[in-house]
Structure 1
Amino acid sequence: MTNASTYRRVGLIVPSSNITMETEIPALLKAREAILPDRFTFHSSRMRMKAVVKEELEAMDADSVRCASELSDAAVEVQAYACLVAIMSMGLGYHRASSEKLNRATTENGCPTPVLNSAGALVESLQEMGMRKVSIICPYMKPLTRLVVDYIETEGIEVQDFLALEIPDNLEVASQDPAAPAELWRKLDVRGVDAIVASACVQMPSLPAIEMIERASGLPAVSASVATTRKILQSLNLTEIAPGGGALLSGGQLARLPKVA
């Protein structure tokens, strides 16, 4: 029997209307528990946000300091802030500034904690795995999608093509079929890309589609949730393996995948 003190405590900073982060990230780490001894618990604090528009995203981000402080009260070992577009809408390179600001808040609260975010997790994971050209699927309106594209490209990753689903309501984003990206990717130009980003949004579900896309395309498929899970494991000094997470969670071994459809 696993003693409660051996559980790794993971803090999640969550938009109030997000119902996917607390589904997909725990699902990946719970799947990992079936093959490795590490165990996890999850602890959330929420920021108000209902519509994915710049004004609400900015107000929500301002509330992230409170969330980081609250979670540090629980002595979590790592915190993950999950709203990729909120970070990217705050200006180029803001994922680094956000992490520093929130880490400082935990330090001032007496429990220094590393704080990562899904925006940084996505670009850093792509960089670390040598993925220099991608095509991406986003649920956002086109202006926010172009902002995301510009942000990713400023970090040295070319976006060859993108698909904007143009869904402004955050709960509607979460209601999309999690398997839908397994077909949506076919609308993208993926010639010569290193990876397909099945969901550049932690709210848009895509976990069941990740390995379906890899099998069909012969390319690595990633998502904001998978990348965030990868960086959580890195922060905890644990092997980056989780069943169902595709190439990013295969233990650091990136190989060309066989195309079967």
Structure 2
Amino acid sequence: METEIPAMLNTRPDLYGEEFTFHSSRMRMQSVTQEELEQMDEQSKHCATLLSDARCDVLAYACLIGIMAQGPGYHEESEAALHQQTVENGGDAPVVTSAGALVRAIKRLEADKIALIAPYVEELTQTMIDYFESAGVDVIDYETLECPDNLEVAQLDQRNLVNIAADLDTDAADALVLSSCVQMPSLNSIQAAEDTLGLPVFSAATATTYEILDNLGLSTQVPGAGRLLSGGLNEGH
């Protein structure tokens, strides 16, 4: 998130003359386990309050599995609770979770069936698949990379993703989630994968960027970041 989302937003000054500032408050997590994810999520309200001190225009909760590990539909509960924190602190701002953004992106693309790549251990990937299926999305094929160390996830070589995607069964898929984790890099491979596979390819980071821009009332266009950010989808869908 801290590399890819700024990278996408920073492509826009040449197109739209916009400038963005970025503020962050970190929830602690080292190993991507159910226990640590629960402990991390407990810190989210405090972080939302800290960020609303800066009177940010939009807040993004950047851990997809941190939300999904709490049970189906939790993104709606989290987004509402964190928004309320900003209201109570006098810094009313919309809140986007990467989990909610990804679910809504799938619906924007009218993708009932998806394939995906995840960095998690198998158990957490199954938790994520259950979360999608509870939202009416059928995961027809997936690859999980079994990488539990949070810092290692950030160092995974995204150039491998196109080859991994090519090995997935995408014939019946409506879209491919190239990285279901904002920590796992994929931005520089999304357009290449989309061009190769001929179906929409996106990630937790591109979905979050779409909703950040949408909540700011701005065009959702980012060059070379796949169909979701092509600017051709209905704004505010």
Query: Partner of 1:129 in structure 2?
Result: 109
Q: Please state how far the C-alpha of 1:187 moved relative to its aligned partner.
A: 1.9
Q: Please state how far the C-alpha of 1:165 moved relative to its aligned partner.
A: 0.3
Alignment of 1:43 with 2:23, yes or no, is: yes
Which residue, 54, 64, 84 being the options, matches 1:84?
A: 64
Query: Partner of 2:140 in structure 1?
Result: 160
Q: Give the TM-score taking structure 1 as reference length.
A: 0.88
Native 8 Å contact 1:180 1:206 kept in 2: no
1:113 partner SS? coil
Deviation by residue 1:152-174 (Cα, 9 ceiling, x = unmatched): 11111111111010000000101
- Cα distance in 2, alignment partners of residues 79 and 118 from structure 1: 11
Equivalent pairs, count:
234
Q: Please state how far the C-alpha of 1:219 moved relative to its aligned partner.
A: 1.0
Deviation by residue 1:1-59 (Cα, 9 ceiling, x = unmatched): xxxxxxxxxxxxxxxxxxxx110000001112221222211111101000000000000
Of all paired residues, the percent bearing the same amino acid is 50
Query: Partner of 2:214 in structure 1?
Result: 234
Q: Which runs of 4+ in 1 moved over 6 A?
A: none
1:34 partner SS? helix
Query: Partner of 1:60 in structure 2?
Result: 40
- Cα distance in 1, alignment partners of residues 160 and 206 from structure 2: 17
Q: Please state how far the C-alpha of 1:180 moved relative to its aligned partner.
A: 1.9
Query: Partner of 1:246 in structure 2?
Result: 226
Q: Please state how far the C-alpha of 1:129 moved relative to its aligned partner.
A: 1.9
Q: Please state how far the C-alpha of 1:186 moved relative to its aligned partner.
A: 1.3
**Structure 2: runs of 5+ lacking an equivalent:** none
- Cα distance in 2, alignment partners of residues 229 and 78 from structure 1: 11
Native 8 Å contact 1:28 1:244 kept in 2: no
Q: Give the TM-score taking structure 2 as reference length.
A: 0.96
- Cα distance in 2, alignment partners of residues 98 and 248 from structure 1: 24
2:171 partner SS? coil
- Cα distance in 1, alignment partners of residues 75 and 57 from structure 2: 19
Alignment of 1:210 with 2:228, yes or no, is: no
What is the aligned-residue RMSD (CA, Å)? 1.1
**Structure 1: runs of 5+ lacking an equivalent:** 1-20, 255-261
Native 8 Å contact 2:79 2:95 kept in 1: yes
Q: Which amino acid in the other structure matches residue 25 of structure 2? A: S
Query: Partner of 1:13 in structure 2?
Result: none
- Cα distance in 2, alignment partners of residues 48 and 182 from structure 1: 31
- Cα distance in 1, alignment partners of residues 223 and 51 from structure 2: 27
Q: Which amino acid in the other structure matches residue 65 of structure 1? A: K
Larger deviation: 171-180 or 47-56? 171-180
Q: Which amino acid in the other structure matches residue 105 of structure 2? A: S
- Cα distance in 2, alignment partners of residues 124 and 177 from structure 1: 27
Q: Please state how far the C-alpha of 1:253 moved relative to its aligned partner.
A: 4.3
**How do residues 138-177 of structure 1 correspond to structure 2 at under 5 angstroms?**
138-177=118-157
**Richer in strand (by share):** 1
Q: Please state how far the C-alpha of 1:232 moved relative to its aligned partner.
A: 0.3
